[in-house]
Structure 1
Amino acid sequence: MVGFIRKGVREMMIARPDEAKEFVIYKHPDETVPFGSQLTVDSDEVAVFFRDGRVHGLVQPGRYPLTSYNIPFLSNLVDSFTGGNLFKAEVYFVLTREYPNLKFGGKIGAVEDPKSGVPVQTMVHGTFSIKVFDAAKLIIGLAGMAKNDNEGFISWFREQTLKVIRDRIAELLVKKHWPILDVTSGAYTEEIEQDVVIGVTPHMQDYGVKVMKLGNFVITMDDEDRENLKKLYTDAAYIRMAGGIGQFQQFAGGKALMGAGEGMAKGGGGEGGGAVLGGAGLGVGFGLAQMFGQQLQQQQAGGGVPPAGQGTAQPAGYPQPSIPNPPSPAAGIALIVCPACHKEVPPGKFCAECGAPLEPRKKFCPKCGVEVKFDAKFCPECGQKLI
């Protein structure tokens, strides 16, 4: 008997419980409500009565006995099977104040770095501040997607924002030519935030929601990708400074030999001299490896060796190597077209004109981000169709 009374009391009080005070949407669990029940609507919300695919009415903040005299539209919701003692409807409580710190985050996917042409896996995290300006629109829209509770709303909102963010960031990188390293360091955060809000707003307005602002907006990338990009940027800068691949190799070798000479002049047997020599060895090794590799490719392509006496000159006091200079284009080298500046240049790792990488670009699945073969038609990991 006591349990029945308690159940009756609970059914007579229609209100948002304390544990749901911070929900954007709270749905009352019982769709069958006795006439005469007490409805309590807090000052920062409205109550929405929904049935058969449409909103029958909204109730503003206050406390009301649920009768057709106080709330006329309830007469349209009477359950005739109960003799007119009950009405049937879904009752939603929707926050109308600004709702801050709605978190979102996820993978953006593979984005091509405009500066290097290398695809980079990126992620985004942040918070939105939103406000519901039309509760009826929101409930109708969410009901049509079968996402008519707070969890469904949050899930839908995050999906929409991530979809827009992916499109806007990819578009901005192409249009603005922003290097990924600068983007992930926060150099363009304010501009990206404004653009994302502009992009998200039309999608939200159709559902009665307004995006007020973004906060804690961060775009990140994998640490390994970050280090690879830094190295590419550094190498490209050296090449541009030296005036091309060949000049860069001579520049790197000369710098290394100068370091070795300084170390020996200061007493190469000491710890400092050893460090300088170690650096010199690495520098020379890098330069020579690049030079030998490129010359070998050129000899294989051209099928010949240039006349003796035309090798690369060394600093005074060092023996002149018998390494031949690479043949000129007229000697039969197969030139390639740089994908960045579109000029014909000798084959190598970097363009001799602009310093851009000449290696084949990697290809990634747009859905799961796994690296795939360049000519693959479907992703071997998730089955996504590839363009």
Structure 2
Amino acid sequence: MLTQLTVDADEVALFVKDGKVEGKLGPGRHQLDTKNIPFLSRLLEKFTGGDLFISEIFFVSTREHTGVKFGGPIGDVRDPETGLGIGTMVYGDFSIRVTEPERLVVGLVGMGRSSNEDFVGWFKSQVLKVTRDRIAELLVKKRWPLLDVTSGAYTEEIETEVIGGLKPHVDSYGLTVVRMGNFHVSIKEEDEATLKKFSKDAAYSRLAGGFNQYAQGQAMLGASEGMAKGGGHGSGSDGALQGMGLGMGMGMAQMFANNQQQARQAPQGPVPEAAGGGEARSPAQRLKELHELHKAGVLSDDEYSAKRAELMKLL
């Protein structure tokens, strides 16, 4: 009775001897007879009288295999927006298809990998390596902020780059990566908080017209908060300092120390509208500056309304 071999609908059976593919059989049930399958004659072992085939048989699936998960650290990546090196990770899944079974089997046998686990482990390492290289390259060339990358804004572009980058690595093994899915680049929560703070400060600086203007606004807000905590609990110099809060905030930030000293030396009672020396601001000018700070987002709506009301009394 002749030996039979059954090959599933989505498989191809490869006969390998001494590291060489001698032949293959497609889906169906086959009788292993040299009359029907000529290449089997090359597998007959002469020392057995021509009764035994000596060969390895590999069953290779030709369908698309989906949901192959991968992931891991891709190392420190420099964020173009802040210049900080941030530890970055990536995870997701991909689908793969064997397009040339002969190349795959010869390649795996040559590498000493003949099991599914060995093959999948090797392939995942290739995906991670290419992903690491492509993300670092894209951040440098296109100067994508890392926060935008982790938000998923560029996921489609990164996936396309990774698939293209994998092609030369897997073509020689008769493989193709069909698509990627659930692709996500992530960073640690504390690093994300750091980048968000840098990004927020940079945005406020741009809106305020530059770093100096933003620093002035921050100094004004800090002084206002301090006076709000101490307001109504003292007199004399404390009262004078509280009364000067609005003028100080609208003036140059560096005037703070001088104004504070003058306030402590001044007698109780009304405080001059602004310090001398050519740095005085008219109420109209202060209103304009107040409006600019509010427009830039440095002042909240409530802070803007309260300070505007104070200035309107001086007109």
> TM-score by structure 2 length?
0.71
Between the aligned partners of 2:207 and 2:257, the Cα distance in structure 1 is 20
Higher helix share: 2
The Cα offsets for residues 106-152 of structure 1, whole Å up to 9 and x where unpaired, read as: 11111111111111111111111111111001101111111122112
Match of 1:256 among 214, 222, 229: 222
Q: Which runs of 5+ in 1 are unaligned?
A: 1-34, 269-309, 323-387
C-alpha contact 2:9 2:27 (8 A) present in aligned 1: yes
Give 3-state SS (helix, strand or coil) of 2:29's partner.
strand
CA RMSD of aligned residues (A): 2.8
1:29 corresponds in structure 2 to none
Match of 2:19 among 41, 44, 53: 53
The alpha-carbon distance between structure 1 residues 311 and 166, as it changes in their structure 2 partners (threshold 3 A), is closer
1:204 corresponds in structure 2 to 170
Pairing 1:314–2:280 present: no
Amino acid at match of 2:255: A
1:144 corresponds in structure 2 to 110
The Cα offsets for residues 221-261 of structure 1, whole Å up to 9 and x where unpaired, read as: 12222122222223333444455555443321101223455
Structural mapping, 1:291-310, within 5 Å = none
Between the aligned partners of 1:244 and 1:101, the Cα distance in structure 2 is 49
The alpha-carbon distance between structure 1 residues 72 and 161, as it changes in their structure 2 partners (threshold 3 A), is same
Structural mapping, 1:224-239, within 5 Å = 224-239=190-205
1:178 corresponds in structure 2 to 144
Between the aligned partners of 1:50 and 1:89, the Cα distance in structure 2 is 6
The alpha-carbon distance between structure 1 residues 52 and 244, as it changes in their structure 2 partners (threshold 3 A), is same
Q: CA deviation at 1:169?
A: 0.8
Between the aligned partners of 2:255 and 2:167, the Cα distance in structure 1 is 64
Between the aligned partners of 2:38 and 2:116, the Cα distance in structure 1 is 28
The alpha-carbon distance between structure 1 residues 65 and 264, as it changes in their structure 2 partners (threshold 3 A), is same
Identical counterparts, % of pairs: 50
Match of 1:74 among 4, 18, 40: 40
The alpha-carbon distance between structure 1 residues 37 and 321, as it changes in their structure 2 partners (threshold 3 A), is farther
The Cα offsets for residues 174-208 of structure 1, whole Å up to 9 and x where unpaired, read as: 11111111101111111111111111123222211
C-alpha contact 1:48 1:59 (8 A) present in aligned 2: yes
2:50 corresponds in structure 1 to 84
Between the aligned partners of 1:44 and 1:66, the Cα distance in structure 2 is 20
C-alpha contact 2:15 2:58 (8 A) present in aligned 1: yes
Bigger Rg, which one: 2
1:354 corresponds in structure 2 to none
Q: Which runs of 5+ in 2 are unaligned?
A: 234-251, 265-315
The alpha-carbon distance between structure 1 residues 132 and 320, as it changes in their structure 2 partners (threshold 3 A), is farther
> TM-score by structure 1 length?
0.59
